Amino acid sequence: MKFYVYAHYKPNEHYPFYIGKGSSKRAYTKSNRTVWWKNIVNKYGLRVEFIAVDLSEEMANDVEKEMIRKYGRADQNCGPLINLTNGGEGTSGHYPSAETRKKLSESRKGPKHPLYGKDFNGLNNPHYGKQHNSKTKKLISKRRMGRSSAHPKSILSPQGVVYTVYNRKEFAKAHNLTASLLSHLLCGKSKTHKGWTLPSENECQN
């Protein structure tokens, strides 16, 4: 069985609120999720992106842990992720009991919620200025889901993260950009689009 690592986003945001590992249709299922996860999705909706695909379970565990460490967990006041563990543990298909999920939910209501009153915009965003390590970049590059462009381009997000654009139309849709203006930016016809720019050579190598 092959596995993948995925990220869940609020539709109009550029940093994820959840990182997961799965197989088959797990990335799209809404069952066996925490109350915290369901509250977010019910309120804002859901966008799914795949970080790496066609992995062994061991490799998927490693990527999942790396991505959770990169973005940071909300319950540890280290970032926006609602993951309750550091990832990479347990047996596939094992989820907390209903009683456990209920207790976790009750412990995070109102002012008890790790994100209560917090601002993750701009410099406050834990994603700001961070890039994938070389191992994760290679996994994403080799195993990116979907159709690839013959000439992938790098682009720098407003949060300071370097992305590789394989399919301009799909990338624009996923990040709420205009495809034609994104193409102008990638071709050097414009300098910026909604805060996105072309990275410097040093940023591409990080």
**Tens-digit pLDDT profile for residues 43-64:** 999 999 999 988 888 888 888 9
Please spell the DSSP secondary structure of 127-139, one letter per residue.
Answer: TTT----HHHHHH
What pLDDT is recorded for position 175?
86
E strand or H helix that includes residue 70: helix 57-71
Query: pTM of the predicted model, to two decimals?
Result: 0.48
With a cut of 60, say whether residue 192 has pLDDT above it.
yes
Q: Are strands 3-9 and 47-55 parallel, antiparallel or unpaired?
A: antiparallel
Bigger pLDDT: 32 vs 109: 32
pLDDT-derived band at 146 (thresholds 50, 70, 90) equals: very low
